[in-house]
Structures are given as C-alpha cells and as structure tokens.
Amino acid sequence: MTDVPTIDLLAITKDSLQLIDRACRDHGFFLLIGHSLDQKLEKLSEQAETFFALPRKTKLETARTQDNPTGYYDRELTKQKRDQKEVFDYFATLGTPRRTKMNWPSDQPVFKTVLTDYFAACEDLSARVLQLLCDALGVDRNQLADAFGHKATSSARLNHYPDHDPISGDDREGAAPLGDMALHHHTDPGALTLLHQDGVGGLQTYSSQHGWVDVPPVPGAIFVNIGDILQVWSNDFYKAALHRVLPVPDGKQRFSMPFFYQPRANAIIEPLAINGPAKYSAFSWRDFIQGRIDDNYADTGAEDIQIEQYRIAS
C-alpha cells in the first residue's frame, strides 16, 4: 500500500522534505496540516452546499461559457467523457488567459466574500508549498516563484458529485453521454493543486509501484497534488499526479474544493537545468491552459492538450 505522507507546516524538517520528495517521485500527493485555513474551509463548505442545493434554473444564472470560463457548469468533459459532477469556477480577473466577468449567485450575499477570501489564503499557502517543493528538489526558490506574482492565472473550484446524473433527462439534449466515473482520470495542468475534500471519499491516485490507490479523507486537512508544469520544470524528476474520483455511492453526495496554483499568462514553461538534458521543449502557458479550458468545455474530437506534446524525442 502506498502512503500519502502527512506534512506539518508548523514543523518542517529535513525528514519532511524527504517525504515530499519520495511522494512526488511516485504518485504526486501529500497531505498538509498546520495550514491555519480551518475556519475558511468550514465557511466555504457551507456556501458550496447551499449553492449546489439551489434549483438548476437558479444555478444556470451564473453559467460559464466557452469564452468566459467562470461560474456554474454541469457538462464538463475529462478525456472526452462527461463527468458525474457540477462545478462553480472562479478566476482572479486580471490574470486569466481571457478576461472574464464573474457571475455571482444573487441570493447568496456572502458567497463572493467567502470564496475570494479563501482564494487569497490559498495563493499564500501555495507559494509556501512551492518553496518546499523547490527545497525538496534542491533548486533556488526564486527560479519558480518568478513565474507567478499578482498576474498569476490561478483558479478555485467548488465541486459537487451527486449519486446521479446532475442533468435531468429533459435537459440532456446536446450533452455528451455520462461517463463511468464521477471524475475521469487526468492530471492537473498547473504547478500544484490544494484540495479539501469532505468525508465521503472516492479520490484515487495512480502509484507507479502499486497502481490505483485510495486517497482517503482526513478531517481539516488539505491535500497537495503535483501538476503538469511542475513535472516539466523538474524535467520528469517529479510526476504530475494522475488521479480520478470513483462514482458516489447511492444515497451519498461528495463535495470538494480544489485551488489550482497556476503561473502568469505570459510565462514560458521549460525544464530547469536538473535531471539531465531537457526532456521538453519550451511552451507558452497561455496556449497550454487555454487549450485545456477549451477541451473541458466541448468535445473537439481530439485528445486534450498534454505535456507529452512537448516531449523531446530521445
């Protein structure tokens, strides 16, 4: 059985960095405690449950579009399959690949305040975690920090996984068929993801040694998983976490709240000078993330954009 190590942010040691390093070379997940976000997590969880309990017609008043990837959506595709979930997406306006206008639910006056407060706290926490990852890799912290700043394209999401298709039969016209997973296997495009999940479970990650393994919920904890561009920066020394969510058991519903730590739109992504010759050619983050957003919105008939497209043939 593969362990997901627990890292206490209030007591970082050399052993902590070794645990992070070992996890990131295998399955790409580790657990954070001592993060001081407990109250923010509780408040946002309450707001998420209230929002997703609204009538679908009300939620659609905040619906996202292909040109504006913010707000509510219940038809998202992963690997060209529709997930059994509904989401609410938030981007900080200035840094998004395309300028956006947030659509906030009109009957939840504190929703915006709670979500934006949580977003700011996650930005700060992600910067700290990135420093730990640099320390574990043995590289200068500034080499990666310079790719972020106030124009970072980070985003936050609220996920609701019901035990049934979130789209009722009368509204399914034009929607892709429902897949066999609540969330199909994928890696996240950015540097890292902070994830809070409720107690229902179902999250799995792929271990190079043990195959699919459970990532069980831990009350009050935040999970970190490695994303695509950290795999590129580390020149394959660290692996982006391949993960999925199993279908929710009958009579249950699952909530999770990921924060995606992503660089500024004009960042150029290329390997650091570690782990031998460069294994990837340089690419534009703006083009990469926009391709992933478009692929999640509609089935283009082709596989979604992946870092493998930039791999240098050996």
Cβ contacts of residue 214 below 8 Å, gap of 6+? Answer: 201, 203, 204
Beta strands across the sheet bearing 155-161: 6-8, 29-33, 222-226, 192-197, 254-261, 155-161, 86-91, 71-73
Sign of the torsion formed by the C-alpha atoms of 298, 72, 217 and 180: negative
Domain 6-307: assigned CATH number: 2.60.120.330
Report DSSP letters for 80-112, one per residue: TEE-S-EEEEEE-GGGSSS-------TT-TTHH
Predicted TM-score (pTM) of the model is 0.95
Give the closest residue to 247 by CA, choosing from 214, 288, 217, 202.
202
pLDDT tens across the length of the chain (314 residues): 468 999 999 999 999 999 999 999 999 999 999 999 999 999 999 999 999 999 999 999 999 887 788 899 999 888 888 999 999 999 876 555 565 678 899 889 899 999 999 999 999 999 999 999 999 999 999 999 999 988 899 999 999 999 999 998 888 988 888 999 999 999 999 999 999 999 999 999 999 989 999 999 999 999 999 999 999 999 999 999 999 999 999 999 999 999 999 999 999 999 998 999 999 999 999 999 988 877 666 655 556 789 999 999 97
CA distances in angstroms from 157 to 102, 206, 248, 261, 314, listed in the order given: 13, 22, 19, 12, 37
Cα atoms in the Cβ-side hemisphere of radius 13 Å centred on 174: 5
Distance in angstroms (rounded) separating the CA atoms of residues 231 and 292 = 17
All structural domains of the chain with their residue ranges: 6-307
Find where tokens 């395309």 sit: 98
Bridge partners of residue 261, in order along the sequence? 192
